[in-house]
Amino acid sequence: MRAGIGTPQNLNTTETISHIDRHFARMMQRLAGRENTLLVLAAKLVSSQTRAGHICLDLVDLTNREFLTESLGDDVTSDFPETAVDDLSAKLRETSVVGKPGDFQPLILDTNNRLYLNRYWQYQETLAQFVLARSTQSNRCIDTGAPRTLLDKYFPEEDDIWQKVAAAIALYKNFCVITGGPGTGKTSTVVKIIALLLEEIPDQRVVLAAPTGKAANRLQESIKFAKENLPCTDEIKAKIPDEAKTIHRLLGAIRHSPRFRHKTGNPLDADVVIVDEASMVPVALMAKLTAALPAHAKLILLGDHNQLASVEAGAVLADICGSGALNVYSSDFKAVLEKATGANLELCESPAPGIQDCIVQLRHNYRFGGKSGIMALSEAVNRGDVDLALEILQDDQYDDVHWHAADSNVLSTILGNFGDYGSSGSPADIFDRFKQFRVLCAVREGPQGIRVVNSKIEQFVRRKLVAKPDDRWYAGQPVLVSENDYDLNLFNGDVGIILRDADGNLMTFFQDHDRGFRKISPFRLPQFELAYAVTVHKSQGTEFEKVLLLLPEQDSPVLTRELIYTGITRAAKCVEILASEESLRAAVGRQTKRTSGLGDALWPS
């Protein structure tokens, strides 16, 4: 006899449903007080969907046999009755564990038939209320005549007009989003914005943050470099912050707890908070950050909304930017921006003030020239134009993009790039050489996954460096930290290289932009992995001269246009792609879909 939906026999055969999903579903049924097949199914799936990066479960998916087959297996879905979404919603609302928005039940079902874990509905609601409230606020401290003089000072007429518009929005609004691809000048724009704000109110406290330690270090390095060329006094330059923190560190992470010291009732001591690499921030962390901001504080988000979404639940930056046209503004604010910048701007379809007034997309690329294959390829991938992307990869006029068939033997190319990077030179020289090339993998496991690729590269490098196979550590070994250690000031994503110090001892060197390098014993390192090859996710916020992007031969849901776009744009000078045509077509044709109600809340139709 075939087992029914929700029974343990079926659940044990699935791959996407975990033990915690099963236990959660059983707990919901116990709390409901009676057996309910639909509730068990929905509870399992909303728990599983959240782990997979979605904020909620769209009940429409329960009527999709393909979705259920992928999520639960054919044997589970075959007995499931084809029921209308409204009927499913009504049956779930009858249970005592499913409430409407604002209720305290463990599951929340909204009016659009989206089912949430209560805490994720709370995260979404907190963030949506913050953005909607801040998007209609104007900074009344700034006189309407003053911005034009300041903006002309920092953004001369010949400069990128969209950078100037971004600065004007940041001056007028308490919420501002600056999005754009690599090389569009997001960091150079924001350092000018900081100087503008400090010229207006010199005693403002400006705070820099990023989702990872690696991104925070890169942000502070860029800020330090860019501020030296600003057309302002040394006094203003001195007030521009030199330090960027991870968001966790900024909020005051509490060990072994998802909570932070700074929250509603204990806000941050900040007037302006700037977050770089905002596409990497999940909904839970962004909600906790907004809850910790003082009522008067300004929040500026920097990022590329076309990049991969966060590893954890949500696609916050993409939801905030929406799916419509950017750089269009409401009637009244359009007039304000045009007066402040001298730009001729477009009017949005809805003339009422709203979130569109807070967003600007930088469009001029300063890194890639007009004949750049990397730029042409990334734009084609971003649009989902598979045929054009393949044409660019095969076009001889582009010498900065190369495509190898899946059966090509490129191991020699990989090994050649890593051959002697760590054999000699100062730590600075070795780090510079290591940054010139990186292998990016789409997956962790399998022949094209980082575990196998790292192992193959390491075998070669050990022989090249005459390191014994059984030595745990060797000079030239690159490591990628995979968990935060606040005592050592090491964070997920930090890259170090094991080298010999002046006394001949093996130490892990980490770049420190204040002191040059920090040295930590390898035995004290938190959890880490080899860093010859990294996942595309881990590569976000970094740049390499040359990149080799490896795609698995077998198709996978993780292969999306956002992943390809992100991998391509990590390269400054050259990108090589090792993939079959089938894998490339599938990936570029597949767009990441993160189920969420945030976009609808921010962009009501």
| Cα(605)–Cα(603) distance, integer angstroms | 6
Q: DSSP E strands: which ranges in 401-494?
A: 401-404, 437-441, 477-481
The pLDDT value recorded for residue 6 is 33
Q: How many CB atoms lie within 10 A of CB 581?
A: 13
In a domain, 14, yes or no: no
In a domain, 102, yes or no: yes
The answer to whether residues 350 and 204 belong to one domain is yes
The answer to whether residues 359 and 377 belong to one domain is no
pLDDT confidence tier of residue 309, bands split at 50, 70 and 90? confident
CATH code, domain carrying 73:
1.10.10.1020
Query: Quick one: how many helices (H) and strands (E) in the chain?
Result: 25, 22
Q: Are 294 and 229 in contact, with CB atoms under 8 Å apart?
A: no
The answer to whether residues 378 and 438 belong to one domain is yes
The pLDDT value recorded for residue 513 is 63
The answer to whether residues 159 and 104 belong to one domain is no
- Give the CA distances from residue 121 to residues 22, 73, 86, 344, in Å, rounded to whole numbers and listed in that order: 21, 28, 20, 40
Radius of gyration of the chain (CA): 25
Dmax (CA) of the chain: 81
Number of structural domains (the chain) is 3
The answer to whether residues 362 and 388 belong to one domain is no
Looking at residue 438, the DSSP 8-state letter turns out to be E
| Cα(179)–Cα(166) distance, integer angstroms | 10
The answer to whether residues 49 and 81 belong to one domain is yes
In a domain, 344, yes or no: yes
In a domain, 603, yes or no: no
Amino acid at 344: N
Please say which residue of 68, 86, 117 terminates a domain: 117
Question: H-helix or E-strand containing 541?
Answer: none
14, pLDDT greater than 50: no
The answer to whether residues 345 and 423 belong to one domain is no
Higher pLDDT, 48 or 486: 48
- Give the CA distances from residue 187 to residues 102, 130, 181, 281, in Å, rounded to whole numbers and listed in that order: 39, 24, 12, 18
Please say which residue of 50, 82, 117 terminates a domain: 117
Digit-coded pLDDT (tens) for 243-259 = 888 898 899 888 777 88
For residues 550-557, average pLDDT: 84
The answer to whether residues 336 and 401 belong to one domain is no
Instruction: Supply the pTM of this predicted model.
Output: 0.86
The pLDDT value recorded for residue 285 is 95
The pLDDT value recorded for residue 75 is 41
pLDDT confidence tier of residue 159, bands split at 50, 70 and 90? low
The answer to whether residues 50 and 162 belong to one domain is no
71, pLDDT greater than 90: no
Question: H-helix or E-strand containing 511?
Answer: strand 506-512
Digit-coded pLDDT (tens) for 402-461 = 888 765 566 666 766 666 665 667 888 888 888 888 899 988 888 888 898 888 888 887
8, pLDDT greater than 50: no
pLDDT confidence tier of residue 179, bands split at 50, 70 and 90? very high
The pLDDT value recorded for residue 271 is 93
* 107-109, strands of its sheet edge to edge: 57-58, 114-117, 107-109, 98-99
Structure tokens at 274: 């700037």
Amino acid at 99: G
The pLDDT value recorded for residue 142 is 47
CATH code, domain carrying 383:
3.40.50.300
pLDDT confidence tier of residue 43, bands split at 50, 70 and 90? very high
Q: 104: domain range?
A: 19-117
The answer to whether residues 554 and 437 belong to one domain is yes
Mean pLDDT of the residues in the chain: 84
**82 pairs with which residues across the strands?**
none
47, pLDDT greater than 80: yes
For residues 68-97, average pLDDT: 74
Beta strand pairing status for 528-530 and 477-481?
antiparallel
Please say which residue of 351, 366, 381 terminates a domain: 366
For residues 150-175, average pLDDT: 87
In a domain, 595, yes or no: no
The pLDDT value recorded for residue 10 is 35
